[in-house]
Amino acid sequence: MRFDEYKSLIFSDLYRIGGKKNLLELLKLIFFTTSSTYKYNFWLRTCRYIKEQKYLKSVLLPLCHLVYKHYCYKYGIDIPYTTDIGKGFYIGHFGSVVINESVKIGNNCNISNGVTIGQANRGEKKGTAIIEDNVYIAPGAKIIGSVTIGSNAAIGANAVVTKDIPPFGVAVGIPAKVISYEGSKGYINRTDYE
């Protein structure tokens, strides 16, 4: 990952939170705000960037990893920093967010508290999910196995997804079923960071 890609990721995440993407806002959220999930995002992205730098990783990665792990425990979020996550990643509330490192997440994804995106170890859907762009995942939702959540989809609260959800699909229930095609419009905000 190049520095300009890293910078684009941290500032797109920042913009999704408050509509600002400047250094002053970044420093405010990192050093002076006590309950921002952006701190977690920042250290998640920073660890990934430093791990891919030949000369920085041996010196800075242990320190960054320590800070990152602190926020994992503080906020109750377990997303390995090696997970492939697109721009504009937004975690609405901290607490009980678990995502398998093999999951692929597109741009502008909203994750709520209590969300699990896990791996199926057997059966037809063995593997992990692909979450496309502009997807909203409500509190308590579970996405298990090799499923694709289409762009602009919305997953309802406490839904258990074990099958593919088409683009613009709104899925609810256990097991999750598509009840409409109104999608995630209104849930995914501030995507004009480019």
Give DSSP secondary structure letters for 19-68: S--SHHHHHIIIII-SS-THHHHHHHHHHHHHHT-TTTHHHHHHHHHHHH
Q: What percent of the chain has pLDDT over 70?
A: 99
**170: helix, coil or strand?**
strand
* Domain limits, the chain: 3-75, 84-180
* pTM for this entry: 0.92
Give 84-180's CATH code, choosing from 2.50.20.10, 3.40.50.720, 2.160.10.10, 3.40.50.80.
2.160.10.10
Contact, 118 vs 135, CB < 8 A? no
One-letter-per-residue 3-state SS of 60-124 = HHHHHHHHHHHHHHHHCEECCCCCEECCCCEECCCCCEEECCCCEECCCCEECCCCEEECECCCC
> Does pLDDT of 35 surpass 90?
no
Of residues 53, 150, 54, 131, the one with CA closest to residue 88: 131
Cβ neighbors of 95 (< 8 A, separation 6 or more) are 75, 76, 77, 113, 114
Q: What is the amino acid identity at position 186? A: G
- Which of 11-15, 51-55, 141-145, 147-151 has the weakest average pLDDT? 51-55
Which pLDDT tens digit goes with each residue over 139-179? 999 999 999 999 999 999 999 999 999 999 999 999 999 99
Q: What is the amino acid identity at position 170? A: V
The tokens for 62 are 């242990």
pLDDT of residue 31: 86
